């Protein structure tokens, strides 16, 4: 339960495991195999691994060619270069035809850390959310990352798996449900519901612990799928708790906060606040220091909850 | 430069292209007319396809990377029987399977969606690499435009094709020398395009792009371990005197008088 592991390592290991079970799986990378950890698959299945060099646009379209040929390509690079540089290739050559391509893109969000703003994708979820046919998974821990990879393989169409770089503790169990498009309630509460995604799920649980010591019971929900979005859960939570907080390591524009706002608009009068990156680029620093600077710590989450409750 | 140099199949295809473009009053005549014999050479003489089985796994693949020339592709596919010829007259209409740019999910015989220039060649690289991966012997033909090779990702694809020794990939350049804003050499000169593909590791050849047999012969050749590049010298708007060599006919609809004149040049009768 408490094994700590980088999500990118979990991603690479899951690909190896999936590759053993499904010989149609091929893995593509753009000279970042040792960062995205597709190198684990490369070592095990060298004949099913294709490096495209520093040419993300070409890789995404070539992945469509593999999918059109009945193979199951997983294409990996950093989140920024996949969703940003190759946006229109994903849009036109992959999603427009619902090509069966999976994108496991790592080094997402501020938690890239020291490499700085040029490498920190704060808008990748927004970019992929507006593309029809796209499914978006944002796993919170190593166990969920593995489930996301296997679930992606079962979906007929493009899937973006947002993979974070840091080593994180496992907070879900192998038998925690992972149904695409279904938010998971990890902790029950009564005063407020925190909807968190990715690395922020663990921070939300810590905030809930702290709030409990002050007599505030904060439910924590793990939003592992951003698209299709579980509006049913959100509307039920709005009804039940009356107070919702979203937390994401992403811009508040276009990500989880937006998805919840779009769901609530005109449908609920629940009190609602968003924590995320407020229309800014990141910069160099240790991930923990950046989370502090951008207001993404358990302390910040707890403060927002208190503001909602008070 | 007259219609008398064109073969009967090419003339038939050109008449269908003009009719469908006239009826929908939009689309791209110039680049469609320039690639007629390229597609004729491939589909009628070189490629292994079966109109009754458009999804046949072992078929050769055609990627019309210059997707805006799809009226030429649609004319060929209808002529070969992939779908009824009458469908052509519904090009670009809201209830038609014939989209403004090729759509593999809607049109039988279209192997890859294109239209956003540069992407088709990269998808073709993926198809050719996947064929190698699956130890299949089908080949992949990509028709690219001359303006299109200004896209940077063409060269990403060219590098990958050579790196992976894709001798099952043939790239055919429809080199008519004109793009929307004018001659290539004024907009963004291609330089010695054959030397460039050669430097990227391609086995290169130049042919008269309006000689379907020459195109077919060049496309049928194979260079062990190397992708092929065929520069097809063509004339934009080929077959219609007032469109030939005129950049203005890249994407302009014909009026009734122009249509009548064009059809007369291609054998008379309007067929509308």
- Which residues of chain B are within 8 Å of residue A71 when distances are taken between CB atoms? 130, 133-134
Residues 6+ apart with CB under 8 A from A25: A15, A18, A19, A48, A71, A72, A73, A74, A153
Query: Per-residue pLDDT for B4 more than 60?
Result: no
Query: What six digits make up the tokens of B79?
Result: 């002529």
Query: Per-residue pLDDT for B270 more than 90?
Result: no
Q: Which class for B189: exposed (0-12), middle (13-18), buried (19 or more C-beta within 10 A)? A: exposed
- State whether residue B153 sits within 8 Å of chain A by CB: yes
Confidence grade of residue B271 (pLDDT, cut at 50, 70, 90): low
Cβ-nearest to A96 among B57, B113, B153 = B113
pLDDT, tens only, B113-138:
999 999 999 999 999 999 999 999 99
Q: Which class for A4: exposed (0-12), middle (13-18), buried (19 or more C-beta within 10 A)? A: exposed
Contact A69 B119 (CB under 8 A): no
Cβ-nearest to A62 among B103, B104, B129 = B129
Query: What six digits make up the tokens of A54?
Result: 């520093």
Q: Which class for A261: exposed (0-12), middle (13-18), buried (19 or more C-beta within 10 A)? A: middle
What ipTM was estimated for this complex?
0.95
- State whether residue A64 sits within 8 Å of chain B by CB: yes
Query: What six digits make up the tokens of B165?
Result: 């020794």
Which domains are present in chain B?
Answer: 3-265 (3.40.50.970)
**Residue of chain B whose Cα is closest to the Cα of A28:** B126
pTM for this prediction: 0.96
- Which residues of chain B are within 8 Å of residue A63 when distances are taken between CB atoms? 126
CA distance linking residue B176 with residue B29, whole number of Å? 13
- Confidence (pLDDT) at A310: 86
Strands A25-29, A49-51: parallel, antiparallel or unpaired by DSSP? parallel
Contact A58 B130 (CB under 8 A): no
- State whether residue B163 sits within 8 Å of chain A by CB: yes
- State whether residue A68 sits within 8 Å of chain B by CB: yes
Query: Per-residue pLDDT for B223 more than 90?
Result: yes
Which of A3, A17, A23, A56 is catalytic? The answer is A56
Which domains are present in chain A?
Answer: 4-169 (3.40.50.970), 184-309 (3.40.50.920)
pLDDT, tens only, B101-112:
999 999 999 999
Query: What six digits make up the tokens of A173?
Result: 């169990």
**Residue of chain B whose Cα is closest to the Cα of A58:** B122
Contact A55 B125 (CB under 8 A): no
Whether A123 sits among the annotated catalytic residues: the reply is no
- Confidence (pLDDT) at B7: 86
Confidence grade of residue B272 (pLDDT, cut at 50, 70, 90): low
* Distance in angstroms between the alpha carbons of the first and the last residue of chain A: 35
Contact B113 A98 (CB under 8 A): no
Cβ-nearest to B123 among A26, A55, A62 = A62
CA distance linking residue A107 with residue A4, whole number of Å? 17
B positions 96-135 inside 8 Å of A (CB): 103-105, 111-113, 115-116, 118-120, 122-131, 133-134
In order along its 310 residues, chain A shows pLDDT tens digits of 457 999 999 999 999 999 999 999 999 999 999 999 999 999 999 999 999 999 999 999 999 999 999 999 999 999 999 999 999 999 999 999 999 999 999 999 999 999 999 999 999 999 999 999 999 999 999 999 999 999 999 999 999 999 999 999 999 999 999 999 999 999 999 999 999 999 999 999 999 999 999 999 999 999 999 999 999 999 999 999 999 999 999 999 999 999 999 999 999 999 999 999 999 999 999 999 999 999 999 999 999 999 999 8
Confidence grade of residue B1 (pLDDT, cut at 50, 70, 90): very low
- State whether residue A69 sits within 8 Å of chain B by CB: yes
- State whether residue A96 sits within 8 Å of chain B by CB: yes
């Amino acid at each position: 339960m408490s094994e700590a592991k980088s999500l990118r390592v979990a991603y690479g290991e899951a690909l190896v495991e999936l590759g053993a079970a499904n010989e149609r799986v091929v893995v593509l990378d753009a000279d970042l195999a040792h960062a995205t950890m597709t190198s684990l698959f490369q070592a095990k299945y060298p004949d099913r691994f294709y490096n495209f060099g520093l040419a993300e646009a070409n890789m995404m379209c070539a992945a469509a060619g593999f999918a059109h040929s009945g193979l199951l390509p997983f294409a990996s690079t950093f989140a920024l270069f996949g969703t940003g540089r190759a946006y229109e290739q994903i849009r036109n050559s992959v999603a427009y035809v619902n090509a069966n391509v999976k994108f496991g893109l790592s080094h997402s969000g501020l938690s890239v850390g020291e490499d700085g703003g040029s490498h920190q994708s704060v808008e990748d979820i927004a970019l992929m959310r507006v593309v029809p046919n796209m499914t978006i998974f944002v796993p919170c821990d190593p166990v969920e990352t593995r489930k996301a990879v296997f679930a992606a393989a079962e979906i007929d169409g493009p899937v973006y798996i947002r993979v974070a770089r840091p080593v994180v503790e496992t907070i879900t169990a192998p038998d925690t449900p992972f149904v695409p498009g279904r938010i998971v309630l990890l902790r029950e509460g009564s005063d407020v519901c925190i909807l968190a995604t990715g690395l922020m799920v663990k921070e939300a649980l810590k905030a809930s612990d702290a709030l409990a010591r002050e007599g505030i019971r904060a439910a924590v929900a793990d939003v592992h799928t951003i698209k299709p979005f579980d509006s049913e859960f959100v509307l039920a939570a709005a009804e039940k708790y009356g107070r919702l907080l979203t937390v994401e390591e992403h811009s508040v524009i276009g990500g989880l906060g937006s998805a919840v706002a779009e769901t609530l608009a005109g449908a609920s009068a629940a009190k609602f606040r968003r924590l995320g990156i407020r229309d800014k680029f990141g910069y160099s620093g240790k991930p923990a220091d950046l989370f502090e600077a951008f207001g993404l710590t358990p302390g910040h989450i707890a403060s927002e909850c208190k503001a909602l409750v008070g | 430069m007259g219609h008398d140099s064109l073969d009967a199949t090419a003339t038939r295809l050109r008449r269908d292209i003009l009719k469908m473009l006239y009826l929908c009053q939009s689309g791209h005549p110039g680049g469609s007319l320039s690639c007629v014999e390229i597609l004729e050479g491939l589909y009628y003489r070189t490629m292994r396809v079966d109109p009754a089985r458009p999804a046949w796994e072992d078929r050769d693949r055609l990627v019309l990377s210059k997707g805006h020339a799809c009226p030429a592709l649609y004319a060929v596919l209808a002529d070969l029987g992939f779908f009824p010829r009458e469908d052509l007259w519904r090009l670009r209409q809201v209830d038609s399977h014939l989209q403004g740019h090729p759509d593999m999910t809607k049109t039988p015989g279209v192997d890859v969606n294109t239209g956003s220039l540069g992407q088709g060649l990269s998808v073709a690289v993926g198809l050719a690499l996947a064929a190698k991966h699956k130890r299949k012997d089908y080949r992949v033909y990509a028709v690219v435009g001359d303006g299109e090779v200004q896209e940077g990702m063409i060269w990403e694809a060219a590098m990958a094709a050579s790196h992976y020794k894709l001798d099952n990939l043939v790239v055919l350049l429809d080199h008519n020398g004109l793009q929307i804003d004018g001659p290539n050499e004024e907009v963004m000169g291609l330089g010695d395009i054959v030397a460039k593909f050669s430097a990227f590791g391609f086995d290169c050849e130049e042919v008269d792009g309006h000689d379907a047999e020459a195109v077919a012969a060049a496309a049928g050749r194979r260079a062990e371990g190397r992708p092929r590049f065929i520069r097809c010298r063509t004339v934009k708007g080929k077959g219609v005197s007032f469109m030939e060599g005129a950049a203005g006919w890249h994407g302009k609809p014909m009026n009734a008088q122009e249509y009548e004149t064009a059809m007369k040049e291609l054998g008379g009768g309007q067929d509308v």
